[in-house]
């Protein structure tokens, strides 16, 4: 049985990876800032700490065979230093821990946003370059972290970076709740005139991709040092997906529109206002969010299928059914 460390093991994706590892008999150690009694009860040895704490991260890597580095600071707004501390310095600490303690394999959760250039990306593969600049701290720091991971691949440590796009499903604590909350508050608007196609990833498929990467990396080091796009492989119009998610909670579809130019202007003004006031809360709009909601971004999965043996097992239609069921209590949809 391997000893596997999962940073962010108490989170949405990290928790799904933990459950799969336990199911196949691996010993699992989790690293997180909070307490997760359910994981401890399931046999996971939890280590508490912050990614920016080098001693805590390095100690968590001791005696591990594999590390899944899932934890990160996400979001469309926040202080640059906070993103750097978690996403860049935290990744440096994970790499130090792996190398110091002889960890064999490291699977890093990256993001397609590391190559997002504010324009349509339709069917692109991993050859698409990093952009010259970023409009948000999250993609900028995730790109820096991904570069560190890929550069570290070698004889002492095998590494892979995965880029799952828009992970959702039952238990989601980020994407789905935000969509539902905005809709219930009457703050959800379609951005732009077009309904561009996007990729998304059901949670089970995202977790499976991570285990596929770890197993394949053990058998074939030539797949290491690379980044791979991960999704359901079912690109669909963004607002069709949003409306389908709203329907699982019994909410009406979003129909009101805002031109992209107006949304970007509003995002710019919000960013200026929040910077001047030092507000820590998230603005209702940013330039990055306006661009994400009005452009196409779907990806060629050929490399992940070929090199990692990745094959999505849950379709979007099946995932939506599971999401609806998870929101049903006593025969009625939760509001």
Closest Cα to residue 104, out of 169, 172, 177, 156? 156
Q: What is the pLDDT of residue 280?
A: 81
In this predicted structure, what is the pLDDT of residue 282? 87
Query: Measured between alpha carbons, how far is 33 from 196 in angstroms, rounded to an integer?
Result: 37
Beta bridge partners, 4, equal 28, 66
| DSSP character string of 118-160 | SS-EEEE-TTSPPPS--SSHHHHHHHHHHHHHHHT-SSS-EEE
Query: Looking at residue 279, what is its pLDDT?
Result: 85
User: What is the residue extent of each domain of the chain?
Assistant: 3-166+200-234+299-314
Q: What is the pTM of this model?
A: 0.94
Residue 201 makes CB contacts below 8 A (sequence gap 6+) with 164, 165, 166, 167, 168, 209, 230, 231, 232, 312
Out of 134, 138, 228, 310, pick the active-site residue. 138
For 194-230, the DSSP string reads S--EE--EEHHHHHHHHHHHHHHHHH-GGG-SEEEEE
Q: In the block, which residue shows the tokens 């401890």? A: 40
Give average pLDDT by consecutive 10-residue segment, the chain, 335 residues.
Answer: 94 97 96 92 94 97 98 93 97 98 98 96 97 95 98 97 97 92 93 95 98 97 97 98 96 94 95 90 91 96 98 98 83 44
pLDDT the model gives residue 335: 36
310 catalytic per annotation: no
CATH number for region 3-166+200-234+299-314: 3.40.50.720
CB atoms within 10 A of CB 97: 26
| pLDDT given for residue 328 in this prediction | 77
d(C-alpha 332, C-alpha 193), whole Å: 35
The whole-number pLDDT of residue 332 equals 45
Runs of H (alpha helix) within the chain: 12-23, 37-41, 54-60, 80-83, 90-100, 137-151, 175-184, 203-219, 238-248, 260-277, 287-292, 302-308, 316-326
């Amino acid at each position: 049985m391997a000893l596997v460390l999962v940073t962010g093991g108490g989170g949405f994706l990290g928790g799904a990876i933990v459950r799969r590892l336990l199911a196949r008999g691996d010993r699992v150690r989790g690293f997180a800032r909070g307490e997760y009694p359910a994981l401890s009860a399931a046999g996971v040895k939890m280590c508490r700490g912050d990614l920016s704490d080098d001693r805590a991260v390095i100690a968590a890597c001791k005696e591990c065979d594999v590390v899944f580095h899932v934890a990160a600071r996400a979001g469309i707004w926040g202080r640059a230093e906070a993103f750097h501390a978690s996403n860049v310095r935290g990744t440096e600490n994970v790499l130090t821990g792996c190398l110091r303690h002889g960890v064999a394999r490291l699977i890093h959760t990256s993001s397609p946003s590391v190559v997002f250039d504010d324009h349509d990306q339709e069917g692109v593969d991993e050859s698409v370059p990093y952009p010259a600049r970023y409009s948000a701290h999250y993609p900028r720091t995730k790109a820096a972290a991904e570069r560190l991971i890929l550069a570290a691949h070698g004889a002492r440590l095998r590494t892979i970076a995965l880029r799952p796009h828009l992970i959702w499903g039952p238990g989601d604590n980020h994407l789905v709740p935000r969509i539902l909350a905005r809709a219930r508050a009457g703050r959800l608007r379609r951005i732009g005139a077009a309904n561009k196609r996007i990729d998304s990833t059901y949670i089970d498929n995202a977790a499976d991709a991570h285990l596929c990467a770890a197993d394949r990396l053990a058998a074939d080091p030539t797949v290491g040092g690379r980044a791979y796009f991960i999704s359901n492989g079912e690109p669909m119009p963004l607002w069709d997906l949003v409306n389908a998610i709203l329907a699982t909670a019994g909410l009406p579809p979003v129909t009101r529109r805002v031109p992209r130019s107006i949304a970007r202007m509003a995002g710019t003004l919000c960013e200026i206002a929040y910077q001047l006031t030092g507000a820590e809360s998230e603005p209702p709009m940013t330039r990055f969010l306006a661009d994400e909601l009005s452009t196409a971004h779907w990806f060629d999965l050929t490399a992940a299928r070929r090199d990692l043996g990745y094959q999505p097992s849950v379709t979007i239609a099946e995932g939506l059914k599971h999401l609806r069921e998870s929101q049903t209590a006593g025969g009625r949809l939760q509001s």
